[in-house]
Amino acid sequence: MIVVMRSGFAQAELDHVTATVAQAGLRSQITLGENQAIVGVIGVPITDQLQETLGVLPGVEQVLRVSKRYKLASRDFHPEDTRFPVGPIIIGGDAVVVIAGPCSVESEEGFLHAAEAARAAGATMLRGGAYKPRTSPYEFRGLGERGLEIMARVRERTGLPIITEVMAPADVALVASYADVLQIGARNAQNYLLLEAAGAAGKPVMLKRGMSVTAEEWLLAAEYIMASGQPHVLLCERGIRTFETATRNTLDLSMVPLIKKLSHLPIAIDPSHGTGRSDLVPAMALAAVAAGADALMIEIHPNPDKALSDGAQSLNPAQFADLMPRLGTVASAIGRRLATIAEPVAAD
């Protein structure tokens, strides 16, 4: 249920609403706009009687039942687009944020090389996996905390914030102590204990879509993160499993306009996992910007043939540098631009 306050409401009226909600054993989540406030009522049970009680309080314009199962993530509750800062950049604003880096952090030298190539080409955030969900237990599963340390040092050198995956609730505090954004991977997209732990960690979260997760399930997964205290969630479409085998996954770009209708949360596209093929990545990245994506996550590697994970879908530095200005052209064609960092820190 959401309580819409009249424009020009008094603070005491808002306090009265939240006190009434608390008396009913429920929680309030307040979204403030200019002269406007919406109070989300969270918890159970939400009764007709409470709806009536709140509806006649001074300063209340109307009380609406949100029919969707997700509330905090829904556009009804929060009509404006959500935008939030990550280090020096804003996610969800006019500027499209390009996140680039290798699938896995393999070595300090290699990660620094990839990061410098990413920054030189204009990327504004670095990705890299220290804890890797691998289909086979015999494949490279990441450097763990050593990988996080490498990422933190490279952040210092490049000035670019870092995003990295967390796979287990027990690792959340450690990963959150290094990362600027926590990534929840496709395989964990409905691991509700992990979603809650990540939501309580105090860092923005990028939530990938699971391979067989519907839009509603995806937004309900985001709701777990938000209901645990973290309002800054970036959704990331990375392809779903279909009958098609020519591509690794089927990249569902229709999620960009659909999610924007259903939710206020920003959405990223990952054309690397979405196709599994570096030759298809540029076209799908351009299409993602054209569709209105707020961010792109692109895997790059100094030498993709030698990558310990996902080399086939990784761009080399030259291919990435070739793509970036083309992304900028598409962004400007739809009235946007690529994010930039005002004063990047010198590499050394």
Interacting positions 59-118 with Mn ion (CB under 5 A): 103
**Residue 337 phi, psi (nearest 5):** -150, 170
CB 195 within 8 A of CB 225: yes
Question: Considering beta carbons, is residue 103 or 262 the nearer one to ligand PEP?
Answer: 103
Give residue 165's identity as a one-letter amino acid code.
Answer: E
Q: Is 185 in the site for ligand PEP (CB under 6 A)?
A: yes
CB of 256 to ligand PEP, least distance (A): 16
- Taking residues 283 to 322 in sequence order and writing x for each that binds ligand PEP by CB under 6 A, - otherwise, the string is ----------------------------------------
Cβ neighbors of 303 (< 8 A, separation 6 or more) are 316
Question: Considering beta carbons, is residue 72 or 86 the nearer one to ligand PEP?
Answer: 86
Question: Considering beta carbons, is residue 307 or 323 the nearer one to ligand PEP?
Answer: 307
E strands of the chain, at which residues? 2-5, 27-33, 36-42, 60-64, 84-86, 89-91, 95-101, 125-127, 162-165, 181-184, 205-208, 233-237, 267-269, 295-299, 337-338
Interacting positions 26-65 with ligand PEP (CB under 6 A): none
Interacting positions 93-112 with ligand PEP (CB under 6 A): 103
Residue 61: strand, helix, or coil: strand
For the chain, the first-to-last Cα distance in angstroms comes to: 53
What are the structure tokens assigned to 186, written together? 């496709």
Interacting positions 307-346 with Mn ion (CB under 5 A): 310
CB of 141 to ligand PEP, least distance (A): 11
Question: Considering beta carbons, is residue 127 or 264 the nearer one to Mn ion?
Answer: 127
Question: Considering beta carbons, is residue 76 or 180 the nearer one to ligand PEP?
Answer: 180
- Taking residues 186 to 225 in sequence order and writing x for each that binds ligand PEP by CB under 6 A, - otherwise, the string is xx--------------------x-----------------
CA atoms within 13 A on the CB side of 112: 11
* Chain centre distance of CA 198: 12
- Taking residues 253 to 292 in sequence order and writing x for each that binds Mn ion by CB under 5 A, - otherwise, the string is ----------------------------------------
> What is the C-alpha radius of gyration for the chain, rounded to an integer number of angstroms?
21
CB of 307 to ligand PEP, least distance (A): 11
User: Where does this chain touch ligand PEP (CB under 6 A) — which range of 26-34, 135-143, 155-163, 185-193?
Assistant: 185-193
Q: 25, 33, 58, 133: which one contacts ligand PEP (CB under 6 A)? A: 133
Q: What is the DSSP letter of 293?
A: -
Question: Considering beta carbons, is residue 50 or 103 the nearer one to Mn ion?
Answer: 103
Distance CA 235, CA 70 (A): 14
CB of 41 to ligand PEP, least distance (A): 33
Cβ neighbors of 126 (< 8 A, separation 6 or more) are 99, 100, 101, 115, 118, 151, 154, 155, 158, 160, 161, 162, 163
**Residue 172 phi, psi (nearest 5):** -60, -45
Question: Considering beta carbons, is residue 38 or 118 the nearer one to ligand PEP?
Answer: 118
Question: Considering beta carbons, is residue 39 or 298 the nearer one to ligand PEP?
Answer: 298
Q: 59, 110, 129, 204: which one contacts ligand PEP (CB under 6 A)? A: 129
CB 98 within 8 A of CB 123: yes
Question: Considering beta carbons, is residue 26 or 130 the nearer one to ligand PEP?
Answer: 130
Q: What angle do CA 309, 310, 314 make, to 5 degrees?
A: 125
175 closest CA partner among 202, 199, 148 = 148
**Binding positions for Mn ion, rule: CB under 5 A:** 103, 310
Which parts of this chain interact with ligand PEP (CB under 6 A)?
A: 103, 129, 133, 185-187, 208, 238, 273
